[in-house]
Amino acid sequence: MGMAASQTRFLGLTARKTNIEYRGQQINQARTALANQTANLYNEMLSLKVPTPPAVSDYYNTSYTYEDGDKSAEIISGLGMENCQIRFTEKQLRNYSEPVNSGYPSTIYFETGVAYLNGNRLTKLSGDSDYESVSKVKLESILKDGVQLNSEAPFVMSKGAATMNITTWSQYQDAVKQGYSFMDNNSNNILYSYTNNDKTYYIQSSFIPPEDESIHKVTIPQEFYENVYSTYTTETMTNCSWDKDSSGRYTTLTGYMDGITRSYDLTFNQTNDEVAYEQAMQNYQYDYAVYQKRIEDINAKTAKIQEQDRSLELQLRECDTEQHTLSTELDAVKKIIQDNVDRVFKTFS
């Protein structure tokens, strides 16, 4: 190889090596930028707040109550203040009438002289004095509470030899004005009771077959049951003074209401707030879903960056391999150039 050709080849290899070095620097800068992005994603992941599920014990309602005769009282506002609002609750029984099992036959049977209706033990209600009929108060209460009796099973009233069938409260009032009274020993006026699901039901004895060992299927057009309902009133107590115990809970309330100074011992109540807990659980589930989605997004971005970094690493290795190859070839060209220099410039030595 001539001197000029060697010099040209040397310059070309030097230019290529410089270009590869520049490419390597660009790749390293790109990898550094990717590393910074990864660090930012990692810091973002660390800054995420992991949602914590709510505890039932953290959600509760507190109240202060007291008993005032047949009424229950609860302080609903103004706790610890000069004036407070008190809600009174009065519970009462109310009778209703409805078809038994929607008109389907009921099963009645006897065991050792005791009647059972659909597996529920029937108990005969005690009447007044020596009468077999249930008390007048019970019969009146059923009618007075608005029960519309079935025409197949009316209450029976009598005046001497005359009788009258009663199905409504207004009919009963008219009969009383005419001198009628509930007929003793009438099977429609004799009630049996049973309890099911904490509710007391009543049926008339006219639907109970004679005692025997048979199982009877009886369609009962009506039954009565007692239901507890509540009425509410709100009153204001003024000039209130409050006593506390060592734990800071109120124990006594004294104030002016209905023209009288009254004093009550307070009862502290704490119950779980299921509505607030359910709402907190829904919020937690939403926050956790958002958190999981953010984690998945960060992981996806990190995986993409890692893939880009591996691609750049392969390019850098290619540049390194090419750099070594060029260095070897450049050393060879340098040797040729040196040999040419020695051969040319040592002619006259």
Task: Tell me which residue range forms the domain holding 29.
Answer: 3-54+278-345
Do 43 and 152 share a structural domain? no
Do 206 and 151 share a structural domain? yes
**pLDDT by residue (tens digit) across 264-322?**
999 999 888 888 899 999 999 999 999 999 999 999 999 999 999 898 889 888 888 88
> How far is it, in rounded angstroms, from Cα 264 to Cα 29?
80
Where a domain ends, among 171, 202, 230? 230
Do 318 and 216 share a structural domain? no
330, 323 contact by CB (below 8 A): no
Do 113 and 42 share a structural domain? no
Tokens of 4: 């000029």
Residues 6+ apart with CB under 8 A from 224: 95, 96, 97, 142, 147, 191, 201, 202, 203
Q: What is the mean pLDDT of the chain?
A: 86
Do 203 and 100 share a structural domain? yes
> Cα-flanking dihedrals φ and ψ of residue 146, to 5°?
90, 15
Do 159 and 267 share a structural domain? no
> Cα-flanking dihedrals φ and ψ of residue 209, to 5°?
-70, 165
> How far is it, in rounded angstroms, from Cα 238 to Cα 221?
54
User: How many domains is the chain built from?
Assistant: 3
> How far is it, in rounded angstroms, from Cα 231 to Cα 242?
27
Do 84 and 65 share a structural domain? yes
3-state SS string over 306-349? HHHHHHHHHHHHHHHHHHHHHHHHHHHHHHHHHHHHHHHHCCCC
Do 189 and 265 share a structural domain? no
- How much is the pLDDT for 227? 78
Residues 6+ apart with CB under 8 A from 294: 48
Do 306 and 257 share a structural domain? no
- How much is the pLDDT for 132? 47
Statement: residue 130 has pLDDT above 60: no
- How much is the pLDDT for 237? 95
Do 263 and 114 share a structural domain? no
Q: Which of 66, 89, 63, 67 is nearest to 76 (CA)?
A: 63
**pLDDT by residue (tens digit) across 181-203?**
998 888 898 888 898 877 888 89
Do 137 and 199 share a structural domain? yes
Do 72 and 32 share a structural domain? no
pTM for the model: 0.46
- Residue 129: pLDDT band by 50, 70, 90 thresholds? very low
254, 261 contact by CB (below 8 A): yes
- How much is the pLDDT for 155? 94
188, 206 contact by CB (below 8 A): yes
Statement: residue 77 has pLDDT above 90: yes
Tokens of 282: 């829904």
Q: Which of 225, 277, 261, 251 is nearest to 120 (CA)?
A: 225
